[in-house]
Structures are given as structure tokens and as C-alpha cells.
Structure 1
Amino acid sequence: MTDLTQFPITAKWPAANPEIIQLYSFPTPNGVKASIALEEMGLAYEPHLVTLADADVKSDAFLSLNPNNKIPAIIDPNGPDGAPVGLFESGAILIYLAEKSGKLIGTSATDKAKIIQWVMFQMGGLGPMLGQLGFFYKFAGADIEDPRPRDRYINEAKRLLAVLEKQLDGQDWVAGDYSIADIAIAPWVNALEFYGAKDVVNWSGHPNLIAYLERFYARPAVEKGKNIPPRP
């Protein structure tokens, strides 16, 4: 049996089956990237609910796996070099799982490069900018009287959505065939609903994106993975 005691996180979140991938997550746009990918790829895994409270994400146990105190993180007991490996950062996890499974990362080196390009688009642009939009439009930043921060992220959200709307013109998925790029991007676009920000970014003016989200969330693996681990 695989021994995962080298990972202190397993003391706080014990592995019932240490032979399969251990997922430490919460169902946010970043968190569900990992669970949806695992479901789509058919990889066996065990989910552990890590709440966003400091008692979890800033605990010594969680920081031992992810010093950046953000979900998701994973331990793969069957790492590529014959030993368990721990990983954090949702984009890195997506690429790792795709390479491990041989799924959702294209069939050629060119496909892979283009897919990773769009994963990076989400990691470096779409996610951070929509996250800031949420902060300044719905959460604590909404109380700031100066309109400039809010306007900045509204306008940047519009720009990024326009990029995606154009990319999806004439195709179902962002990078050609369905891939980890879509698993990275779609949950963040869908976050506009949670932020109550659809009207402010003229969501109705993005027919390609509207149809895209409908296709994405109609997938059985997405329907299941979007609720893993279940919220308390």
C-alpha cells in the first residue's frame, strides 16, 4: 500500500484510499477545474473538502502542500517518476492530469501548444480579471466610492469576453476539440452569474459564449464535477 505520510496534509485530511489521486478542493471556478478534469478523464480520485476559511487554507497541513494557500491541490500516489507527487495551481494540475491520462490535450504537439495557450489565457487574464470584477462589483470593493477600480475591471472583463466570443465564432470549443482549455475557461465565465455582473458586461450580446456555456454544462462529467467536493 502506498504510504502518503510524507505529506503532512494527510494528517488533517486522511486518505481512505491512498492508492488513488487525492484532491483537496472547494467548488469555486478554480476548484472545479480539477474535479471536472478528473471526471472527464476517468481518473480515480478521492475528494477532500478544504473550505476557504483560514482554519483550512492557512493551516500548517494545507500549507505543507500549497504554500500559496489556495485550492485546489492534489497528491498523485502514482507520479511520473515512480513516486508520489504533490501539485498546486489549477492550470498546472490540468496540464499534469491531461498528460497523465493522454486526454483533452490534443493529438499533436501543435494541438497541445494551442490548448496550453488558452489555459494560460485563463490563468493570466480571464480568472484574475473576473475575480477583481467580482470584488469591486459584488463584494467588499463595491463599497468604494471611487468608480475607477470597478470601471477598470468591468471594461477588462468586456475585452476578455470579446476575445472569447470571437474565438468561438464557428466552433464549439475554444481550442478546436473539447480540452482542458474549456475546463479552465468555462467555470470562470459562468462566475459572472454568481457576481451578478451579466448585465454590466452586456452578456446578452455574446451569443457564442451563451451557447458555449450551455454545451459545457450539458456534459455529464461537468454536471457531476461542478459539485465536488460538495459544499457543506
Structure 2
Amino acid sequence: MTDTKFPPENNLPAGYEPPKVWTWEPGNGGAFANINRPISGPTHDKDLPVGQHPLQLYSLGTPNGVKVTIMLEELLAAGHAGAEYDAWLINIGKGDQFGSGFVEVNPNSKIPALMDHQPKDGGKPLRLFESGSILVYLAEKFGAFLPENQRARAEAMNWLFWQMGSAPFLGGGFGHFYAYAPIKIQYAIDRYAMEVKRQMDVLNRHLAENEFMAGSDYSIADMAIWPWYGRLALKDAYNDAGDFLSVDDYEHVQRWTKQIGERKAVKRGSMVNKASGNPGAFLPERHSASDFDGLTI
């Protein structure tokens, strides 16, 4: 009997039907197939380097990594000398995230990961993974960029977790099917484009009435959202996605994006752990403020 609701000829590829039990086929997954696998754990033994500072960051200059380097540079700009850090490049394209040392810090094998060798309790080094967790930890450790006022703090946390839940639809959803998938699937692109535009509208409506995400206070919520949605607003994400999604229409997101982007710490943080880019505008590793000397900031 022919399936009239989902006729095989309408499937992509034509005639595809899900098997009873899914099995992994290496190479399946488009642009990042070489680093995708259905199991966790290390693939090889490799210790992580450790520099001179208490805070050791292992990351890459993707939006999730940039959140943390912006936070660290903002802390230093605000006078928190204890936020000095070493930033080591984790090349996910080469599988560095599956090294045994990195997996010990983050069993999920995703960047960023942070080790604090001088936690406030004076105990053994403390590991941090998941960018949102790292931002909250640093904000609480240094008492900065997370409002003390209960209502403003709650608003900052609301928007931080909004970003954590929403960005996968932008990156893994829209970005993957629009820019990285080996085939163009209209249904998938339409589905995720609609969701990303809804998210941009959520931000635009909120920023029409608020200078920053938590109101009048610049916070970790702005640092978390800007690398994802600011990058999209600047037309710097997924090829021509900015035009495709008409990002210029979101005037309040545009105002906020430019305002955040003008901060010197944001410019510095956006350079760290990038392995390539415009000459003089990226910094694969960062071990001191002098590493920025000669770069275009």
C-alpha cells in the first residue's frame, strides 16, 4: 500500500525510508562529517598544555568560544587582574577535542573548556565546561557583569539561558542546512529560517525597550548573545545568510550589535583562539596582554 501522507518519491533522497534501527555510516553529515560520531570519549592520548596563569582556557574562536574570551577581556578591562588567562587553541577540525586531556576537562568534547587552578575554595583545580556555566562561574568569582539586584540578575539569567536554548536552532539548524549540508533541503531551510527570524524578532522587541539584555546593565547575557546574533546581524555568518534573513530589518538588534561591537574588550576577545582571518586581526593563542601588540583593534 502506498503511503499517501509521505510518498517515497517526496523523500530526500527519493525513496528514503528510515530503517527500523539507525546505524552510523562514517562520512555522513556534510562539512563536519570527519569529526562527528555517535559515541563519546577520547580517541587518542594527549595532555593539555598549562601556562602561567590560574585560568587556563582551551577553546576555538567560534561563537561559543568567543563568549568566554570576551568575558575574560572585559574582566581585565574592568581591573580584575586575577582574570589573566592563557588561551590554548583547540582545533576541532583536527579532532583536538577528542584528546584524553581535553575529555578530562569536558567529557562532552565541545569547546570551550576552562580550568581554574586557583578556585576560591582553595582546593584542587576546578573544571568548567559549557559556555553558560563558565560565564556564570567567572561572574560570581569576580563579582562582575551579573547584576546584584535580584530583578536585573534574574533578567540576565533569563536571557543567558534563552541564548543557550535558542542558538542551536541558529547554528545546528539553520546554519547547518543553509551553509553546510551536502544537499539543499527546502523544508529544513524554511523551517529553521522561520525560527531564526522569530528569534531575531524576540531580540528586536526586547531591545526596543532596553539598552542591554538585562536592562540598563551590560552583562554576561549580552556577551553570550552577541557572538551568535550580533554576528548574524553583521552579515558575518553562514555566507549570505544576513541578506537571506533580511537582518537589516531588525533596527534595535542592529543598534545593540554595533554598541557591543565598539567595546575594546569585545574586539580583543573576538580575536582570541582564531586560527585564521584578516592579517593582524586574529590571535590563535593568548598568554598576556602584550600578545595583542601590533594587531588591529
Who is 1:8 aligned against?
Answer: none
Partner amino acid, structure 2, of 1:194: A
Q: For residue 53 of structure 1, give the secondary structure of its aligned residue in structure 2.
A: helix
- CA distance in structure 2 between the partners assigned to 1:136 and 1:112 by the alignment: 35
Matches of 1:172 and 1:120, distance apart in 2: 19
Match of residue 138, structure 2, among 76, 92, 97 = 97
Residue in 2 that maps onto 1:226: 270
Q: Distance in 2 between matches of 1:190 and 1:173?
A: 13
The equivalent of 2:118 in structure 1 is 78
**Rounded Cα–Cα distance in structure 2 between residues aligned with 1:147 and 1:229:** 34
Q: Does 1:129 align with 2:169?
A: yes
What CA distance in whole angstroms lies between the structure 2 residues aligned with 1:109 and 1:137?
40
Please name the residue that 2:187 is paired with: 148
Aligned mate of 1:62, from 95, 102, 106: 102
Identity among equivalent positions (%) equals 39
Are 1:215 and 2:215 counterparts? no
SS at 1:138 equivalent = helix
Which residue is 2:245 aligned to? Answer: 201
**Distance across 2 between alignment mates of 1:178 and 1:190:** 15
CA offsets, 1:152-178, max 9 Å, x none?
110000000000000001332111111
Secondary structure in structure 2 of the residue aligned to 1:16: coil
SS of the residue 2:72 aligns to: helix
Contact conserved, 2:47 with 2:100, CA < 8 A, in 1?
no
Distance 2:177 2:54 in 1: 40
Aligned length: 218
Alignment of 1:50 with 2:98, yes or no, is no
Query: Who is 2:50 aligned against?
Result: 15
Letter in 2 for 1:15: V
TM-score where L is the length of structure 1: 0.89
How far apart, in 2, do the equivalents of 1:185 and 1:55 lie?
A: 26
> Is the radius of gyration larger for structure 1 or structure 2?
2
Structure 1: distance between partners of 2:229 and 2:257: 8
Structure 1's consecutive aligned runs of 4 or more residues displaced over 4 angstroms after TM superposition are none
In 1, Cα distance between the equivalents of 2:242 and 2:206? 20
Higher RCO, 1 vs 2 (CA within 8 Å, ≥6 residues apart): 1
**Is the CA contact 2:113–2:128 (under 8 Å) kept in the aligned structure 1?**
yes
Matched residue, 1:138: 179
- In structure 2, what is the Cα distance between the partners aligned to 1:16 and 1:199? 42
Deviation at 1:54, TM superposition (A): 4.6
Contact in 1 for aligned 2:48/2:102 (Cα 8 Å): no
1:171 aligns with 2:210: yes
Tell me how far apart the structure 1 counterparts of residues 158 and 202 of structure 2 sit (CA, whole Å).
13
Equivalent residue number for residue 65 of structure 2: 31
Q: What is the TM-score when the length of structure 2 is the normalising length?
A: 0.70
Residue 22 of structure 1 aligns to which amino acid in structure 2? Q
Q: Aligned-pair distance for 1:16?
A: 2.4
Cα offsets for 1:126-183 (capped at 9, x unmatched):
x111101110111125x13x31111111000000000000000133211111100000
What residue identity is the alignment partner of 1:150?
A: I
- Over residues 29-85 of structure 1, what are the superposed CA-to-partner deviations in whole Å (9 max), with x where a residue is unaligned? 000111000110121111111111253011222111111111001001121322220
Contact kept, 8 Å, 2:60 with 2:89, in 1: the verdict is yes
5+ residue gaps, structure 1: 1-10
Which secondary structure does the structure 2 equivalent of 1:64 belong to? helix
1:92-145 deviation digits (Å, cap 9, x = unpaired): 0000001111111012222222111100000001x111101110111125x13x
What is the CA deviation profile of residues 9-41 of structure 1, one whole-angstrom value per residue up to 9, with x for unaligned ones? xx6332121x42000010000001110001101
